[in-house]
Amino acid sequence: MARGSATGSTEGAALRRPIESVTRERLLQAAMDVFAQHGYHGTTVDDIVAASQTSKGAFYHYFPSKQGIFLNLLDRLIEMVEAGVEGAIEHEEGGLAKVEAALRVVLEVASAHQDLARILLIEAAALGPEFEQSRLGIHRRFAALIQRHLDRAVADGSIPAQDSRAAAMAWIGAINEVVTQDMAAGRDLMASLPAIRTLLLRSVGARVADETA
């Protein structure tokens, strides 16, 4: 059944990273689906195996454990989002514009891939204290990204000097919450964009035109 054999295949994947193995890819994809649908604890390895049309053996051939494939998935998602954000940001001029672009991209990505967003935002938090560190790490990673650009905005005078670390944290939290609630309520994420845009920008002291009545 067309099994990929070599690890060092020549064909490129959708996003840079070469496909190491079709089976491995199938497992990852299935895991993503199932985790998104049933949550970490609600998902069994057998579920993933079934959804991937592979086998238990294949699973443990490629991944050390259920936890292992999950962390793997997390990393992959983070990288994708970060790459998307960085890419969208570099075309913008000025700290504030970059920050705005990042905000828009994050919302767009979350909106387009709700299952991914669910994993990153919800399921990653559902791992229990042992893994809490990994979740906090993710948040901090994004916060650092935002903080960097906020600091730049401060430097170029777009916004007043302030505790950008706290601001970045608050932003992450706010975005997280809005996305989560909107998703749960079946609302269109992009519809919330103007509101949070205003909210967030104002929070750091940027001058914004009111868009809300």
Partner DNA sequence: GCGACCAGACCGACGCGTCGGTCTGGTCTG
Partner DNA sequence: CAGACCAGACCGACGCGTCGGTCTGGTCGC
Choose the one of a second copy, DNA, none that binds residue 87, judging by a C-beta under 5 to 8 angstroms depending on kind. Answer: none
Q: Look at the block and give the residue holding tokens 């994809």.
A: 29
Of 61, 57, 84, 70, the C-alpha closest to 28 is 70
- Residues in contact with a second copy by the rule CB under 8 A: 37-42, 122, 125-130, 132-133, 136, 139-140, 160-163, 166-167, 169-178, 180-181, 184, 192, 195-196, 198-200, 202-205, 210, 212-213
Choose the one of DNA, a second copy, none that binds residue 58, judging by a C-beta under 5 to 8 angstroms depending on kind. Answer: DNA
Site for DNA, residues 17 to 76, rule: CB under 7 A? 21-24, 43-46, 54-58, 60-62, 65-67
User: Can you tell me the distance from the alpha carbon of 74 to that of 120, in angstroms, rounded to the nearest whole number?
Assistant: 7
Give min distance, CB of 183 to DNA, in A.
25
* Structure-block tokens of residue 176: 């997280």
| Cβ nearer to a second copy, comparing 81 with 138 | 138
Choose the one of a second copy, DNA, none that binds residue 178, judging by a C-beta under 5 to 8 angstroms depending on kind. Answer: a second copy
| Cβ nearer to DNA, comparing 5 with 212 | 5
Give the sign of the dihedral formed by CA 189, CA 190, CA 195, CA 199.
positive
Of 139, 206, 204, the C-alpha closest to 176 is 139
Q: Is 10 in the site for DNA (CB under 7 A)?
A: no
User: Can you tell me the distance from the alpha carbon of 137 to that of 140, in angstroms, rounded to the nearest whole number?
Assistant: 5
Other C-beta atoms closer than 10 Å to the C-beta of 135 total 17
Helix extents (H) in 53-94: 56-62, 66-90
Choose the one of DNA, a second copy, none that binds residue 84, judging by a C-beta under 5 to 8 angstroms depending on kind. Answer: none
For DNA (CB under 7 A), the number of binding residues is 25
Helix/strand/coil for 64: coil
| Cβ nearer to a second copy, comparing 77 with 123 | 123
- Bridge partners for 13 per DSSP: 16
Give min distance, CB of 103 to a second copy, in A.
12
User: Can you tell me the distance from the alpha carbon of 26 to that of 34, in angstroms, rounded to the nearest whole number?
Assistant: 12
Q: Is 207 in the site for DNA (CB under 7 A)?
A: no
Give min distance, CB of 116 to DNA, in A.
21
